[in-house]
Amino acid sequence: MLTTESETITALDLTWVRCQFPSLSRTVDGHPAVFFDGPGGTQVPQGVIDAMVDYLKQNNANSGGAYATSRFTDAMIAGARSAMADLFGCDPDEVVFGQNMTSLTFAISRSIGRELGPGDEIVLTHLDHDANISPWRALEERGVTIRMVDIHEEDCTLDMDDMARKITNRTKLVAVGYASNAVGTINDVKEIVRLAHAQGALAYIDAVHYTPHAPIDVRALDCDFLVCSTYKFFGPHMGVLHGKREHLQRLQPYKVRALTNAVPFRWEWGTLNHECIAGITACVDYLASLGRHMDTSASTRRAAVLAAYEAIQRHERSLLERLVRGLLAIPGLKLYGIQDPQRFHQRCPTVAVRIEGQSPLALATKLGERGFFTWDGNYYAINLTERLGVEKHGGFLRIGLAHYNTGDEVERFLRALGEIVARRG
Ligand SMILES: Cc1ncc(COP(=O)(O)O)c(C=O)c1O
């Protein structure tokens, strides 16, 4: 693997990082696979794979039984809750496991909806993934009014004046993404939480796209709920929700009678995916070990996770600069979202483009044949693709970088895309 000058400056030990992920050595018809599909789901380190396999081999059981493997399972789930609490910056009993972000959001929206009716309003945004829209729109059947916050088309940022106008004393909840999975914009979530609370509304944050790229501190945000999916940040296919204890206690979940009313278990329905939960601890521990690898002075797991994110952010920023510079040099290419490197702290390394005369699907297919894994379409950010008028034309080509990507991969990608565009084939 080539190590370039800017990668050396970032100080992320890419050799160490890439050794943790067995899938990165995959090839496609002789081409090395380049995983620019992180926003759809990242690759998984060996530690996560081992934890899942070991659980199934040694300790597979249901929870709550009076025997060894069941006791192990209870302790293992408690351990994963602590790990996620370290990642979120909250207490373990404020962590709820679920099938994925979408299911958790429907669970919370149905429960909050029990208390809402005509005259109540919910504020959503055009930038969001549909998983943070449809569960709230479902409450229109109870007479709730939905208000949509617009975007600035030129850079795909939220119109914060519109946000401030739409949040009123009728607003009961504001649901917003931390970062856009289509165009990468990072929203000023702290300010949105402040605006919501000033009108007595709850704030529900979709951090699915943000979590692989930057650290979360739910106490500093003061958000009421924050939800993420572990398969987007190097873990197994599950969702995890943080809820403030007072809300998890007060709100009434739909649940079976036999399930305890204790928090957080009352929000976890049926038997959870235990092997995935075993993988979640290993996923947070992967970040912590990356952090300790970069900063040996990190004394707690949370400190180590924060150190990892610092290194991740520096590295991704340098990759993003190279990618955007190269993309903008391709004739006929339109990049959606923030383009000015001075403002790259306001975005993730997730880049949406369209190229004149080429459909996003055709581009993704040709790139895929050369081993570059990108995505085409709307990625469920359908309000955004409709708002920008690209939904009927195949959406965008999305290039999503993760910290295990290299400058060399970015350069090879730019060359391949340049060739495809030049040949139109
Ligand atoms: C920003 C964002 N929110 C929500 C989701 C839905 O997550 P899940 O698949 O865990 O339901 C996704 C999935 O792509 C996403 O990118």
Q: Is the CB of 102 under 6 A from ligand 1?
A: yes
Nearest to 55 by CA among 272, 343, 266: 272
Q: Is the CB of 101 under 6 A from ligand 1?
A: yes
Q: Is the CB of 206 under 6 A from ligand 1?
A: yes
| Cα 400 to ligand 1 centre (Å) | 14
Within 274-425, where are the H helices? 274-294, 301-328, 360-369, 382-387, 407-423
Crossing angle of helices 301-328 and 274-294, rounded to 10°: 80
| Cα 182 to ligand 1 centre (Å) | 11
Retrieve residue 280's tokens.
């979640």
| Cα 128 to ligand 1 centre (Å) | 10
Retrieve residue 366's tokens.
């040709």
The pTM score is 0.96
Q: Is the CB of 235 under 6 A from ligand 1?
A: no
Give me Rg for the CA atoms of the chain: 22
Nearest to 78 by CA among 88, 66, 93: 93
Strand partners, 158: 151
Instruction: Return the best residue to mutate from 232, 273, 280 for the ligand 1 pocket (most ligand atoms within 8 A of CB).
Output: 232
Nearest to 130 by CA among 167, 162, 177: 177
Neighbours of 65 (CB within 10 A): 12
Residue 103 CA: nearest ligand 1 atom is 11
| Cα 236 to ligand 1 centre (Å) | 14
Q: Residue 4: its pLDDT value, please? A: 45
| Cα 58 to ligand 1 centre (Å) | 32
Q: Is the CB of 213 under 6 A from ligand 1?
A: no
Q: Residue 6: its pLDDT value, please? A: 42
Crossing angle of helices 301-328 and 407-423, rounded to 10°: 30
Amino acid (1-letter code) at residue 266? R
Averages of pLDDT over runs of 10 residues in the chain (425 residues) are 43 95 97 98 98 98 97 98 98 98 98 98 98 98 98 98 98 98 98 98 98 98 98 98 98 94 96 98 98 92 97 97 98 97 98 97 98 97 97 97 98 98 79
Q: Residue 423: its pLDDT value, please? A: 85
